[in-house]
Amino acid sequence: MKTRNLILSILSAIALSFSAAALAQQGQPMEPAQPEPVDVSDSELEQFVDAQAGISTIQQDFSQRLEGIEDPEQAHELQTQANEEMIAAVEEAGLDVESFNAIAMAIQNDPELQQKLTEMMQEGS
């Protein structure tokens, strides 16, 4: 049970690591605010799909690797490695982390963009 909680906390930290950089740049307290609309081109959305596929693969891999880890230091090292690999996956897709986060936020706030993303992902399957 202890290992499972550690794994869940590490996976949560990995998932939040991308958004933490964007929030830190704002330097403001976290208050509900309407995000500025982001214009996402088809090519950027395709890059996002590619990056997300890479991130998903990395998360699955590291989730499996963390299952047997009980040493917090070793788990932290794996988390750091996973973060580095996810950043590399975003960059290999042609985006930077800030752009990836902006597109992710735009997708969350725009139902039409969500639909477009879903269609692109289905076409790629």
Give tens-digit pLDDT for 11-29. Answer: 444 444 444 444 444 455 5
Is 34 among the domain residues? no
pLDDT at 86 over 60: yes
Is 80 among the domain residues? yes
Tens digits of per-residue pLDDT, 48-60? 999 999 999 999 9
Q: Which amino acid is at 52?
A: Q
pLDDT computed for residue 16 by the predictor = 46
Domain range for 107 = 2-27+40-124
pLDDT computed for residue 19 by the predictor = 43
Evaluate whether 78 touches 19 at the Cβ level (below 8 Å).
no
pLDDT band at 103; cut points 50, 70, 90: very high
pLDDT at 34 over 80: no
Number of domains in the chain: 1
Is 32 among the domain residues? no
Is the pTM higher than 0.85?
no
- In the chain, count H helices and then E strands: 5, 0
